[in-house]
Structure 1
Amino acid sequence: MGEVETLLLGGTANRGLVVRVGDTVRRPLRPSSPATHALLEHLDRVGFDGAPKLLGIDAAGREVLSYLPGETVTAPYPAWSMTDSALSSVARLLRRYHSAVADFAGDGLEWLEPVPPEYIDGLVSHNDPNLDNIVFRDGEAVALIDFDLAGPGSALWDVAAAIRLWAPLRPDADITDVRRGRTFQRLRHFADAYELGEADRLRLVDAAVLNHVWCMDYVRRGAETGHPWFHQRWTTYESDLTDRTNHWFTTQAEALRHALL
């Protein structure tokens, strides 16, 4: 009898292509896979338990990763995932990852999507700490998954990406869950939980603005090249939301900076 493959939901770029087989996850290879694999092997060597382990390549030419038990956050968001406690645990997990990856040299490897040069300082960041890319157990963030967008960046860039998605940083009218009305409090809460330094707090809002542009440009280009899920996402809601969020940042930037003081 062949191995049973169970489709794993979530994500956009690889939707419908990621499966669980027993205690493993099988994912398509990419041009940047050798770089991602080197990163995962480093994390394993230094004892970081918050990322999947690389187990090899299967007969179908897919990467084989260890399956990390737990829950990821997908809509409709469960109540526990929107708490300040869950938010703090995401910040702590991200800080642990940054500590574990600090001595990994990513130079000379082929990464998928370069980040703006002003946010590259020698650290290989995850770059996509989206809600469905973090594994929780008992309400605590314990692991990062989907390292496809990882590459040379910085801790600040990762923090900006995370808080942009987890606060979230967008107009209240576009927040349809219990986080509505709490953007500024959650922004400050995340920065405090991460123990973000003063210099990076001064740069965080600008980093979040640029991170939004960077991420949405990636989605737009995917849509324009015919990727079905990026196309659906961009044409259904992301294009309009991008414009509204860009305008919101221009009106709220100073208030966001003040919230971090």
Structure 2
Amino acid sequence: MVDHEMLQDKPHREVVRVGDTVRRPLQPWSASVHELLRHLEDIDFPYAPRFLGIDDEGREVLTFVEGDSGPDGWARVVDERGLVAMARLLRDYHDAVRGFRPEAAAGWAGFTGDGEIVLHGDFGPWNLVWHGTQPVGILDWDYAWPGRPVHDVAYALEYVAPFRDDDMCRQWLAYPDVPDRRRRLELFAEAYGMEAVGLVDEVIAQQEAVWERARRLAAQGMQPQAEWQQTGFLDQTADRVRWSRDNRALFEGPAGEP
């Protein structure tokens, strides 16, 4: 067993594995996330880490989920089996929080107000733990917030359809060739259990919402959003929104219908 392993070494976010636990820095909204994780534990949802408390250095302590994650996740969803399994896992999570009504006294990361369910908020392949093409865990709950389930669906689709140009798909996202984006969007929607009609608009809307949230957090000095602002990453994000608008025909069928 690994006694101590650095999982993420950033000035604002040092994440460390200690034995079979993970230690992460607290955020202003962490208490709300812990409430969510306790709910998932209470109902025996098997895909979320368990919250074990706060250590003597003021870090949250979570159970470690064994498997591949981070950059390894991209290749898993290139395979359609991984794509479908990811969509089914998202539906399982949404079903697990249908009746959950948190106090959320600490608020959420950059969002306020009520929503139909508490979303994961950052449901990308890098935040899943994989055994082959099967996801076995969901990581990084910092951006959970109340909203409509379709927002999580649209957020995931941005990355797994994907709403990225051909060069990025081949050079960075592990695609051997140009992906059939429309087919992948429809496969994900079917596996989740919803119609594909209207999802392109939802993806573009969530891209804009995520960009606005990042700008708001950056203005508050929150990390990593402040760094994203300084390095020009938020400008690149705005460019990606424009690419999605300009290339929506790649995701849609005749007469503008998926």
Structure 1 counterpart of 2:182: 184
Could you tell me which runs of 5 or more consecutive residues in structure 2 were left unpaired when the two chains were aligned. none
Counterpart pick for 1:127 among 112, 121, 126: 121
Change (3 A) 1:73 1:228: closer
The separation in 1 between residues aligned to 2:12 and 2:239, in whole angstroms, is 27
Change (3 A) 1:224 1:65: same
The separation in 2 between residues aligned to 1:64 and 1:108, in whole angstroms, is 19
Q: Where does 1:64-83 land on structure 2 (aligned, <5 Å)?
A: 64-74=61-71, 79-83=75-79
The separation in 1 between residues aligned to 2:128 and 2:12, in whole angstroms, is 16
Q: Which moved more, 1:238-247 or 1:104-113?
A: 238-247
The separation in 1 between residues aligned to 2:87 and 2:164, in whole angstroms, is 19
Change (3 A) 1:204 1:14: farther
Structure 1 counterpart of 2:46: 49
The separation in 1 between residues aligned to 2:8 and 2:125, in whole angstroms, is 13
Q: Where does 1:32-111 land on structure 2 (aligned, <5 Å)?
A: 32-74=29-71, 79-106=75-102, 108-109=104-105, 110-111=107-108
Q: Deviations over 1:192-212 (max 9, x none)?
A: 11111x3xx334222211211
Change (3 A) 1:85 1:141: same
Change (3 A) 1:124 1:103: same
RMSD across aligned positions (CA): 2.9
TM-score (norm 2): 0.84
Structure 1 counterpart of 2:151: 157
Task: Indicate if the aligned counterparts of 2:15 and 2:23 stay in contact, CA closer than 8 A.
Answer: yes
Change (3 A) 1:134 1:5: same
Task: Indicate if the aligned counterparts of 1:13 and 1:229 stay in contact, CA closer than 8 A.
Answer: no
* 3-state SS of paired residue (2:164): coil
Change (3 A) 1:32 1:222: closer
The separation in 1 between residues aligned to 2:210 and 2:104, in whole angstroms, is 23
The separation in 1 between residues aligned to 2:180 and 2:236, in whole angstroms, is 19
One-letter amino acid matched to 2:251: L
1:138 deviation in Å? 2.7
Task: Indicate if the aligned counterparts of 2:74 and 2:126 stay in contact, CA closer than 8 A.
Answer: no
Q: Deviations over 1:23-77 (max 9, x none)?
A: 00111111211110110000001110010001111111111111011111406x6
One-letter amino acid matched to 1:250: R
Structure 2 counterpart of 1:138: 132
* 3-state SS of paired residue (1:192): helix
Q: Where does 1:195-206 land on structure 2 (aligned, <5 Å)?
A: 195-196=193-194, 198=195, 201-206=196-201
Task: Indicate if the aligned counterparts of 2:182 and 2:252 stay in contact, CA closer than 8 A.
Answer: no
Counterpart pick for 2:111 among 103, 110, 114: 114
One-letter amino acid matched to 2:206: N
1:221 deviation in Å? 4.7
Counterpart pick for 1:21 among 3, 18, 23: 18
One-letter amino acid matched to 1:139: T
Change (3 A) 1:187 1:127: same
One-letter amino acid matched to 1:8: L
More strand by proportion, 1 or 2? 2
Could you tell me which runs of 5 or more consecutive residues in structure 1 were left unpaired when the two chains were aligned. none
